Amino acid sequence: MNHFHYRDGRLFVEDKALADIAAEVGTPFYCYASATLARHYDVFAAAIADNGLDAAICFAVKANASLAVIRTLAQRGCGADVVSEGELRLALRAGVPAERIVFSGVGKTGRELSFALVSGIRQINVESLPELESLNALAVRMGRRAPVAVRVNPDVDAHTHAKISTGAAEHKFGIAWDSALAVCRHADELPGIDFRGLAVHIGSQLTELAPFAQAFAKVRDLTLALREAGVPVSHLDLGGGLGVPYAPGEEPPSPAAYAAMVRETLGGLGCALMFEPGRMLVGNAGVLVAKVIYVKETGTKTFVIVDAAMNDLIRPSMYSAHHEVIPVAEPAPDAEIAPVDVVGPICETGDTFGRAMLLPPLAAGDLVAFGTAGAYGAVMSSSYNGRPLVPEVLVKGSQSCVTRRRPDYEDMLALETLPNWL
Ligand SMILES: *Cc1c(COP(=O)(O)O)cnc(C)c1O
């Protein structure tokens, strides 16, 4: 992980000690490193430039919707890929220019589409014929032409977790491969639609290049077929999906290898490209910091019970995901390593961060950081079990800022109303 390291026995994020943030903010909290965000963006942008690709990078906001994170990336020239009006408003508020925003998603409502049109965003990725028809009708009524890419479903196996695979025929995403050409041709004829090209996104946390290459080769074929049919294709949106390492030794394809594969599969078509990386930009830029409440011995097992839970970081229970547990106080080199289950306080067995994790001794009051928690962490949190949403802290050098505060119990109760019959 970048910019998360021990210094004098204490875990630092850049030049700020996590224990010091914990003392100010309380636990649990998410913490992000600006330097890692910047580095990941720069490495990806450089890989694209080095391969001579003409491309826009639009951060998939659904991976991390912190205003401060979006703005950190936007200041480097990054755009935004949004999937709802809420995310679109966030991206605009973060300072992403409308012409760098793309709107994805299988079920955009009429209200969301009209807001996107009024905002003048760069592109709307359409995923079905009914969506295309209603967007056309809306645009005509508003006296506009909607800039559209048609998201196609290339029917490939992404070789990733079933819940985050999106590019096979059985999935709800995109236009079925067999009807893609006809839908694009139709889109090109509609008066309210400015047909630009194709979009594809086959899944998340991909750890091989082959599924991408397979999908992109099909996109190339379709591009050529469309041109032959007289339908101009000027834009290709290649989605996100590149995996990140969650455990030591994991080595997903590098941005350089990914960009080279893109050049090989889609280079020379003269299309403007777009990428929508999410996890890759933010995953390893964040940790979730928690405090040990109790260590419970049951005779057969040791449970380390922490004050973060599945409502704060759902990936282990939702995707069986692994997150490293890093003691915030550096363990002694000769510390005895023993298997423990790290669990949260929620009344569900699924509220388990890891089973038989090999860790040095931990005691009540100790702080631990869950690694690689910057993507699909805070954004997927809830207040299940009456637990306040976890605050987010952004670090830059030795500075830190609480970029989203922890709601207090009054904030939480303020949304509730009793009906007049009670
Ligand atoms: C989720 C999503 C992304 C981002 O995926 P990552 O795996 O986080 O890079 C990009 N584009 C679309 C359409 C998505 O649904």
- Judge contact between 405 and 391, C-beta under 8 A: yes
Cα separation, 298 vs 248, in Å, equals 30
The pLDDT value given to residue 169: 86
Confidence at residue 418, expressed as pLDDT on a 0 to 100 scale = 97
Ligand 1 pocket test, pick from 37, 41, 104, 173 with the greatest ligand atom count within 8 Å of Cβ, gives 104
Question: Which residues are registered as beta bridge partners of 400?
Answer: 395
241 lines ligand 1 (CB under 6 A): yes
Q: Which of 206, 203, 202 is nearest to 219 (CA)?
A: 202
Exposure on the CB side of residue 409, measured as CA atoms within 13 A: 3
Q: Residue 84 and residue 393: Cα distance in Å, rounded? A: 24
User: Which amino acid, residue 343?
Assistant: V
The per-residue pLDDT for 57 is: 98
- Residue 2, pLDDT > 80, answer no
**For residue 158, what pLDDT is reported?**
87
Ligand 1, pocket-test mutation among 73, 81, 165, most atoms within 8 A of CB: 81
Q: Is the pLDDT of residue 17 over 80?
A: yes
Quickly state the pLDDT bin for 294 (edges 50, 70, 90).
Answer: very high
282 lines ligand 1 (CB under 6 A): no
Higher pLDDT, 311 or 2: 311
Long-range contacts for 107-114 (Cβ within 8 Å, ≥24 apart)?
108/84, 110/134, 110/138, 111/85, 112/84, 112/85, 112/88, 113/138, 113/146, 114/138, 114/142
Where in the chain are the domains?
4-32+283-413, 34-278
| Catalytic center residues | 347
Q: Extract the tokens encoding 13.
A: 């994020």
Best CA proximity match to 239, nearest among 55, 37, 51: 55
Across the strands, what pairs with 81? 60, 102
- Answer whether 115's CB lies under 8 Å from 93's CB: no
**Helices of type H across 75-209:** 85-93, 110-119, 129-142, 177-189
* Nearest partner of 318 among 286, 357, 352, 355, judged by Cα: 352
The CA 238 to ligand 1 mean position distance, Å, reads 10
Q: What is the pLDDT of residues 83-112, one digit of tens each?
A: 999 999 999 999 999 999 999 999 999 999
Q: Give mean pLDDT, residues 304-316.
A: 98
Cα 384 from Cα 381, distance rounded (Å): 9
How many angstroms does the Cα of residue 28 sit away from the middle of ligand 1? 27
Q: Best of 61, 62, 153, 376 to mutate for ligand 1, by most ligand atoms within 8 A of CB? A: 62
Residue 1 has pLDDT above 70, yes or no: no
Domain 4-32+283-413 superfamily per CATH? Lyase, Ornithine Decarboxylase; Chain A, domain 1 (2.40.37.10)
Nearest to 5 by CA among 395, 405, 403, 402: 395
Q: pLDDT tens-digit profile of 38-87? A: 999 999 999 999 999 989 999 999 999 999 999 999 999 999 999 999 99
Beta carbon of 63 within 6 Å of any ligand 1 atom: yes
d(CA 102, ligand 1 centre) in Å: 12
CB-based burial of residue 175 (10 Å sphere; 0-12 exposed, 13-18 middle, 19+ buried)?
buried
Q: How far is the CA of 280 from the centre of ligand 1 (A)?
A: 10
Q: Give the H or E element holding residue 72.
A: helix 67-74
The SS3 assignment for 365 reads coil
**CA–CA distance, 321 with 341 (Å, rounded to integer):** 14
Peptide bond between residue 28 and the one before it cis (omega within 30 degrees of 0): yes
Q: How far is CA 169 from CA 150, 330, 352, in A?
A: 16, 48, 33
**Residue 324 confidence (pLDDT) above 60:** yes
> Does the CB atom of residue 192 touch ligand 1 within 6 A?
no
Ligand 1 within 6 A of 278 CB? yes
Report the nearest-CA residue for atom 3 of ligand 1: 240
The Cα 58–Cα 100 span in angstroms is: 7
Closest ligand 1 atom to residue 375 Cα is 8
57 pocket-lining for ligand 1 (C-beta < 6 Å): no
Q: H or E element: which one contains 392?
A: strand 392-396
Q: Collapse the DSSP code of 357 into the 3-class scheme (helix H, G, I; strand E, B; otherwise coil) and give the result.
A: strand
**Percentage of the chain modeled with pLDDT above 90:** 95
Which pLDDT value is given to residue 165?
86
Return the number of other C-beta atoms located less than 10 Å from residue 345's C-beta: 16
Q: What angle, rounded to 10 degrees, do the helices at 129-142 and 177-189 form?
A: 10
| Residue bearing tokens 């580095």 | 39
Mean pLDDT of 151-168: 90
Alpha carbons 11 and 20: distance in angstroms, whole number: 10
Distance from residue 365's CA to the centre of ligand 1 (Å): 37
pTM here is 0.97
| CA of 153 relative to ligand 1 center, distance in Å | 14
Percent pLDDT > 70 in the chain is 100
d(CA 177, CA 155): 7
CATH of domain 34-278: 3.20.20.10
Spatial separation of the C-alpha atoms in residues 337 and 405, rounded to whole Å: 36
Ligand 1 center to residue 363 CA distance, Å?
38
Mean pLDDT throughout 129-142?
A: 98
- Residue 237 to residues 77, 104, 196, 266, 396: CA-CA distances in angstroms? 17, 11, 10, 11, 32
Q: Is 105 in the pocket of ligand 1 (CB under 6 A)?
A: no
Q: Check if 252 has its Cβ closer than 6 Å to any atom of ligand 1.
A: no
Question: How far apart are the C-alpha atoms of 257 and 206, rounded to whole Å?
Answer: 13
62 lines ligand 1 (CB under 6 A): yes
* pLDDT above 60 for 30: yes
Q: Which residues on neighbouring strands pair with residue 347, listed in sequence order?
A: none
Are 392 and 402 in contact by the 8 Å Cβ rule? The answer is yes
pLDDT category at 164 given cuts 50, 70, 90 is confident
- Number of the ligand 1 atom closest to the C-alpha atom of 166: 15
Atom of ligand 1 nearest to the CA of 241: 7
Q: What single DSSP character describes residue 274? A: E
d(CA 11, CA 103): 38
pLDDT mean across residues, the chain:
97
As a whole number of angstroms, the distance between CA 310 and CA 319 comes to 12
- Whether 276 lines ligand 1, by a CB cut-off of 6 Å, is yes
Q: Which ligand 1 atom is nearest residue 206's CA?
A: 7
Structure tokens at 411: 């904030």
